[in-house]
Structures are given as structure tokens and as C-alpha cells.
Amino acid sequence: MGAYGLVRINMELFIGAALFFLAGTGYDRLRLLYLEQMGGMAIPMPKIFTVFSILSMASLALPGMSGFVAELMIFFGILTSQKYLLMTKILIIFLNTIGIIITPIYSLSMLRQMFYGYKLFNTPNSYFFYSGPRELFISISILIPVIGIGIYPDFIFSFSVDKVEAILSNFF
């Protein structure tokens, strides 16, 4: 499980980095911190909305994204591990399942409030919301590995599993 867990962390870093970047981009454009103040951003910021939605779905472990591969690796790693007793495996899987259930509730409600919320923006300067080439380039540069790892995870495994197992063999 150890090697799979460390590879999972590397896969999730792409999603987390992209979501934090897009949250910073949204703050840079709007200067708002609270979800209650945001709303209706899908229409003035369609490109950021699209990338943010795709990455949120990747965070929810949607099949075809790196989050799905990461969650699947954790479940298989726990089930096939000889290190843990059956009750420990059941407890870990139960806690992971609770996380898998709570994450969509939070993530989808956040998307709904930010992009289709109750407060609609009435600003005359529509260029204020425009996502420039810098934001799109960085977002797509992070999105490509998320989708690529989800479609073909063996590419990452070929580079990392041997090295991670060598590192873990020093500790276990």
C-alpha cells in the first residue's frame, strides 16, 4: 500500500494545485473571499468555470481522471496488503468511503454557489472577468496530466513505483 499511497499523493497534487490556482484567479478577478458573496460567475467567466468544473470532477474521483486512479489504487492497496488485519482494513475502507461520500456534497455545493449562486454580478466592465491566455495556459497545462494519468496510469507507474518501493524498503 505504501508505494501506491505515495503515487496517489503525487496524482492528487495536480488537482489540488490547479484548484488553488483557479481559486486565486477568481479572487484576483472578484476580490471576494466568501461563497455567500459570490454567485453567477459561470456566465461572465465561462472558461474558468469549465476548467474549475472539470477539476472539481477529477477531485471527486470521476472515472477517466487521475483522482479515480488514485482512489482505486488506495482501495486495492489496502485490500491486498498483508500488513493489516481484516478489521483494520474494514475500518480504513469505511473511513475512505465516508470521505468519498462527503467530498461530492462539499464540492458540488461549492460549484453551485460560486457559479450559479444567488447573487448575480451586474458590472458594466465585462473585461474584468475575462480569463487571459496566462490563466488558460496554466490551467490547461495542469489539466492535461490529470486527464492523461486517468486514461493511461501505467505511464506514471513506470517512472515511480520502483523508486518509491526502494525508498519505502528503507523504512519498513
Q: How do the domains of the chain map onto residue ranges?
A: 1-158
Q: Which of 63-72, 105-114, 118-127 has the lowest mean pLDDT?
A: 118-127
* pLDDT value of residue 128: 53
What's the pLDDT score for residue 33?
Answer: 74
Predicted confidence (pLDDT) at residue 1 exceeds the cutoff of 70: no
The pLDDT of residue 129 is 57
Using the predicted structure, report yes or no on whether residue 130 has a pLDDT greater than 70. no
pTM across the whole model: 0.77
pLDDT tens-digit profile of 67-105?
Answer: 888 888 888 888 888 888 889 889 988 998 898 889 889
Long-range contacts of 106-114 (CB under 8 A, 24+ apart): 107/56, 107/59, 107/60, 108/56, 108/60, 110/35, 110/56, 111/52, 111/53, 111/56, 113/35, 113/36, 113/38, 113/39, 114/26, 114/35, 114/38, 114/39, 114/41, 114/52
Residue 153 pLDDT exceeds 60: yes
The pLDDT of residue 6 is above 60: no
Label residue 44 exposed, middle or buried (CB < 10 Å: 0-12, 13-18, 19+): buried
pLDDT of residue 3: 52
| pLDDT of 7 strictly over 70 | no
